[in-house]
Amino acid sequence: MSAVAAPANGTADAVGSRVRALREGMGLSLRDLAARSGVSAPMLSQVERGETSPTLAVAGKIAAGLELTLSQLLRLDEGQHVVVTRAADRRATRRDGHAVEELTPPLPGQRADVSLHSLAPGSATGGAGDPPMHEPGSRETAVVLAGRLVLHVDGDRRELAEGDCVTFDADLSHHFENDGSEPTRFLAVIAAGLRRG
C-alpha cells in the first residue's frame, strides 16, 4: 500500500488520531483493524502516528474496517462538532404505555444512542418473544430515574429500584416492564458493537 507524504497543515495528525480513537473505542488492536480493512498493521501505525497521510483508497479501506463510510471517517459530512438537542426538539414516540424520547441527534458514525423512557404501570417496552433489536456486540446501560423496573434478558429477570443501574448485552432478547402501580422513568444508553467475540 502506498501513502502520500503527510501534509504540513496537520491533516495527517488529525486523521491519524481519529483512526486511533475509533479503533481503540471499538476494542480493536492494530492487527484486528488490519485484518478487517486489508491495510497492513505497519501502514496503520504510520497513519495513526501522523507520519503519512493515507491515499483515498487506503482511507476508504480503513473506514470500512471501522464500519464507517469514507466521509464519516474524514468528517466530511459533519457541519459542526457540537450538536445541542433542545428538549422541545426531541424525537418522541409512544406505544401502549411506553413513551420514548431520543436524546441524541442522528449523527453519521455515531456509536451510542441515549434515550429517555417512561413506562405506565403494567406496560412494557416489548414482549418475551421479541427478537433482539440491536446489532451484534451492542451493550445497553439503563439507569432507573423514578419508580421500579424489571429487566428480562435472555430468560433472566432482574428487579431494579430507583437509582439502580444495569448493563447487559443488548443483542440478546430483552425487554423492560413496569409491574408496579406507579409510573417508571429510566435512561438507556446503547453502545454499538463493543463486545467482541
Does residue 80 belong to any structural domain of this protein? Answer: no
Residues 35 and 118 in one domain: no
> Can you give the length of the chain in residues?
197
Question: In degrees to the nearest 10, what's the CA dihedral of 165, 167, 172, 175?
Answer: 10
pLDDT along the chain (197 residues), means of 10: 39 80 85 94 92 90 88 66 80 91 77 92 82 78 97 93 95 92 96 61
Does residue 81 belong to any structural domain of this protein? Answer: no
Q: Which three cell numbers stand for residue 35?
A: 485484518
- CA–CA separation, 2 and 181 (whole Å): 65
For residue 180, give the DSSP letter.
Answer: S
Does residue 11 belong to any structural domain of this protein? Answer: yes
Residues 128 and 173 in one domain: yes
Q: Which three cell numbers stand for residue 7?
A: 501534509
pLDDT value of position 181:
94
Residues 69 and 111 in one domain: no
Write down which residue in 48, 73, 98 finishes a domain: 73
- Is 193 within 8 Å of 138 (Cβ atoms)? yes
Write down which residue in 47, 73, 99 finishes a domain: 73
Write down which residue in 32, 49, 73 finishes a domain: 73
Residues 175 and 107 in one domain: yes
Query: What's the total number of domains in the chain?
Result: 2
Q: Would you tell me how many other CB atoms lie within 10 Å of the CB of residue 135?
A: 12
The vertex-65 CA angle with 196 and 192, nearest 5°, equals 45
